[in-house]
Amino acid sequence: MTETQKSAPFPVEELPQEPFDRLIAVMAALRHPDRGCPWDIAQSFETIAPYTIEEAYEVAEAITNGDKAELKDELGDLLFQVVYHARMAQEDGDFDVRDVAGAITEKMLRRHPHVFGSASVSDADAQTRVWEDSKAKERAAKAEADGRVPSVLDGVSVAYPALMRAVKLQKRAVRVGFDWPDSAQVIDKIEEELGELKHELASGAIPDRVEDEMGDLLFTVVNLARHLGVDPETALRRTNGKFERRFRAVEAALAAEDRTPLDASLDEMERIWIATKLKEHAEAAATAEHHADP
């Protein structure tokens, strides 16, 4: 096959007009072994997976920003990832995107007997319990089919971000009563874990031991967040934003003096940081007072 033949374009006018079918056809063209995109042809499930995760986070960011136009674009990017994986599976003879759609549809039918059957639920909390019970039965059936003892922790993916996985593992354990009765005991445990970390540091422990104790401390802090009804991921994302905002203020204040953080002492930067923090608190208080006025 000549270079001209390899680069011959796919006729756009021959693509389906229905949006989903059009997307599937575009994906097939990109992966065409002779006429497709070299980059897309070279990809695999493993190389595409990081992009899939990235797109999911960008969807979440668009929701946080309240930007519906951005959300539409990001959902499209995420949908493209689904079609991409399904296309590669189709090439391997495993399944295609319509099989994916069929599988999730049947799962939703199975998990919503109050909508598609005679069952009934009183409220959203009751539905959550029904949903979790249904998932638990599915996990138990899978464990039995695999010839192993089912666990309440089955199905908590190791691919989740560590913070998210910690929350999910803890919530699963709670279902069988493995939990502290109140947040006061969790705080005591945090102090215990912090003490153990301090001990390892004071004794000159190897990095692996320090990392182990640091992990225990973080896991217990996540537990406290759960007891307080705080999503640790949201809380940390909020603090990340606060840190970024205040550090940029430090940089801006120094730039006004034709300096950078490299030219300033830690004490100088700390003073600017505190001033920025106090200003934010004053602005927040003023805003709250304004909204409180009749």
CATH architecture under which domain 3-111 falls = Orthogonal Bundle (1.10)
Q: What is the pLDDT of residue 138?
A: 85
Residue 7's pLDDT band (boundaries 50, 70, 90)? low
CB distance 223 to 257 below 8 Å: no
Q: What is the pLDDT of residue 6?
A: 53
Q: What is the pLDDT of residue 28?
A: 96
Residues 211-246: tens digit of each pLDDT = 999 999 999 999 999 999 999 988 998 999 999 999
Q: What is the pLDDT of residue 282?
A: 92
- The domain ranges of the chain are 3-111, 151-230, 233-292
User: Given this chain, do its domains 3-111 and 151-230 carry the same CATH topology?
Assistant: yes
First vs last Cα of the chain: how many Å apart? 78
Residues 159-206: tens digit of each pLDDT = 888 999 999 999 999 989 999 999 999 999 999 999 999 999 999 879
224-243 b/e with 16+ CB inside 10 Å = b? bbbbeeeebbeeeeeeeeee
* Residue 293 predicted with pLDDT over 70: no
Quote the CATH superfamily of domain 151-230.
MazG-like (1.10.287.1080)
Residue 5's pLDDT band (boundaries 50, 70, 90)? very low
CB distance 89 to 96 below 8 Å: yes
Secondary-structure percent of the chain, ordered helix, strand, coil, rounded to 5: 75, 0, 25
Q: What is the pLDDT of residue 2?
A: 45
Residue 143's pLDDT band (boundaries 50, 70, 90)? confident
Helix/strand/coil for 265: coil
Residue 4's pLDDT band (boundaries 50, 70, 90)? very low
Q: What is the pLDDT of residue 214?
A: 96
Q: How many helices (H) and strands (E) does the chain have?
A: 13, 0
| Alpha-helical regions (H) of 66-182 | 68-91, 97-111, 113-116, 124-145, 162-174
The tokens describing 105, both together, are 């549809």
Rounded CA separation 44/42 (Å): 7
Rounded CA separation 177/180 (Å): 9
Q: What is the pLDDT of residue 1?
A: 43
Residue 294's pLDDT band (boundaries 50, 70, 90)? low
Residues 23-67: tens digit of each pLDDT = 999 999 999 999 999 999 999 999 999 999 999 999 999 998 899
pTM for the full model? 0.68
Least confident of 74-83, 138-147, 254-263: 138-147
Share of the chain above pLDDT 70, in %: 96
Q: What is the pLDDT of residue 3?
A: 47
Residues 78-123: tens digit of each pLDDT = 999 999 999 999 999 999 999 999 999 999 998 888 889 888 888 8
